[in-house]
Amino acid sequence: MLFKIINITFVLIIIPWNIVSNELIFDVSQKKVILSNDDLEPDFTIYGFSDSPKSLVLKITGPNQKVVLQKKTKIFGMWTWNKTGEFSYPSLFHYYTNIKNNEIDFLVKKDLVDNIKLIGKDDDNLKKDLIEKKMSIDLFLIKNNAFKLLNQNVQNFFKIPVKLPKNCPAGKYLVSMNLMDKGSKFETKKIEIFVEKPGISSFVFKFAHKFSFIYGIFSAIIAIGLGISAGLIFKRN
């Protein structure tokens, strides 16, 4: 028993807690995350404390991305692609709850839908299709009863092992915790973590952000080179 108390005290000391309110304290095990190839090992862990009877929801969002919607139309006898709208949404949306009930499920799904912006054409069916597609590849995820007790004898301390999908992009992610009760929601300030992927994709991401101008020139040169090569191949054929 004494050893368990010492163990919890040690964890509380070594983690630089991000104090948010009298009811909720949490922080991440590491701010720089390199995705692991081990499917059984979490990429990082959330540690926290709460003495609130309210429901808790952890939210993790990835770098924002845009998808342009186009429609093929015929103008003056020529087929062209015209922009009809644009999706803007986080590339990853993960929710972890400490309980499962209909109210929390509704609030989480509403938050997910509200954070998907559709510019030019507001269509709930398009949002629904996007959510279903992203959930099928684990980029959007709702995981209930994900909070684990740090120690069975101390009910208020918890941890949440987080495993990110291998297809998630590298970049800056935001982690926040929500207290939810009877339709009301209190969201903590967000903690930034930086996700890196092993291999060439991480190198390309870093290079593109640190040397964006050079990266743009290289991209243009490669695109022109591929276009010329394709033209020569088709010309010979």
Query: How does pLDDT run across 164-189, given as a tens digit for each residue?
Result: 998 888 889 999 988 876 656 677 77
Among 35-49, 68-82, 100-114, 190-204, the range scoring the smallest mean pLDDT is: 68-82
Q: How far apart are CA 177 and CA 184, in angstroms?
A: 14
Task: Read off the pLDDT band of 150 (50, 70, 90).
Answer: confident
Average pLDDT score over residue span 29-42: 83
What pLDDT is stored for residue 19 in this prediction? Answer: 44
What pLDDT is stored for residue 108 in this prediction? Answer: 86
**Paired tokens of 95:** 């929710």
Q: Which residues contact 228 (CB under 8 A, 6 or more apart)?
A: none
What pLDDT is stored for residue 179 in this prediction? Answer: 83
Q: Check if the beta carbon of residue 84 is closer than 8 Å to that of residue 98.
A: no
Helix axes 124-136, 102-114, angle to 10 degrees: 110
In the chain, where are the structural domains located? 2-198, 200-237
Higher-scoring residue by pLDDT: 50, 227: 50
What pLDDT is stored for residue 122 in this prediction? Answer: 61
Identify residue 170 by its one-letter amino acid code: A
Q: Give the bridge partners for 55, in sequence order.
A: 180
Q: How far apart are CA 8 and CA 19, in angstroms?
A: 17
User: Residue 157: pLDDT above 70?
Assistant: yes
Q: How far apart are CA 70 and CA 53, in angstroms?
A: 48
Q: Check if the beta carbon of residue 134 is closer than 8 Å to that of residue 93.
A: yes
Q: Check if the beta carbon of residue 129 is closer than 8 Å to that of residue 136.
A: no
pLDDT tens digits for range 69-105: 766 676 666 777 666 678 888 999 999 998 888 888 8
Q: Say which residue the tokens 């959007």 belong to.
A: 140
